[in-house]
Amino acid sequence: MIDLHTHSLLSDGVLLPSELIRRAEVKGYKAVAITDHVDFSNIDFVIPRIVKTCKILNRYWKIKAIPGVEITHVPPQSIKGLVKFARREGAKIIIGHGETISEPVLPGTNRAFIKAGVDILAHPGKISEEDIKLAKSKKVLLEITTRKNHSKTNRRLVKLALNHKAPLVLNTDTHAPEDLIDNNKRKRFLASLGIRSDDINRIIKNSYNIAISSKL
């Protein structure tokens, strides 16, 4: 099992990065990306610490810890530069905090993240069909989320993404230990959205492929 969207106490999570990875390993995860929230104020502080922690953990543990970030609540015009900076500083998974319906994210944020080439657009809310097509062309994964305050638009996203053959990925957006799920819950969650077994396997494979491509 792989999760590419989690948070530690380096942003608004409750666990140290090491404990987050250890708890995920006990749950049966094979790889986890630590993707703490960043903007201009902390991106240069957070990335080196996540990179260092993942490097040490990968030396001793079987689970793969992947350094990443979630760029959050920034002006759309600044997104391209922040994505470039994050990659240069060592973030292997870059998530864009999408236009979720539960937060006042600026309009145009979804498209700016897609154009900037993030790896994953998280909880993109009522994303337009045009932006879904753009995500497909840019190979940006669109996130199905298990997080309650963001998940109300999952069904719409799944329907449109599958219609346009845009790539999907399932993440937990973990902030606390109870947010982590096991493999059975993952499959039940996807099935509850009306996703067929072959599409479920494809979604799971997308997580695997991006984790492998991180080349740690």
First to last CA, the chain: 18
Q: Contact 156/126 with Cβ under 8 angstroms?
A: yes
Domain count, the chain: 1
Looking at residue 86, which CATH number applies to its domain? 3.20.20.140
Residue 182 and residue 163: Cα distance in Å, rounded?
28
Tens of pLDDT, residues 110-124 = 999 999 999 999 999
pLDDT at position 215 is 67
Is the pLDDT reported for residue 212 higher than 90?
Answer: no
pLDDT at position 45 is 97
Which structural domain, as residue segments, surrounds residue 93?
Answer: 2-213
User: Which pTM was predicted?
Assistant: 0.97
Residue 197 and residue 187: Cα distance in Å, rounded?
9
Q: Is the Cα dihedral 29, 178, 185, 191 positive or negative?
A: negative
Strand 120-122 relative to strand 93-97, pairing? parallel
Tens of pLDDT, residues 61-107 = 999 999 999 999 999 999 999 999 999 999 999 999 999 999 999 99
Mean pLDDT of 121-141: 98
pLDDT at position 47 is 98
Per-residue pLDDT band at 216 (split at 50, 70, 90): low
The sheet that has 120-122: what strands, in order across it? 2-6, 31-38, 64-71, 93-97, 120-122, 141-145, 168-171
Tens of pLDDT, residues 35-44 = 999 999 999 9
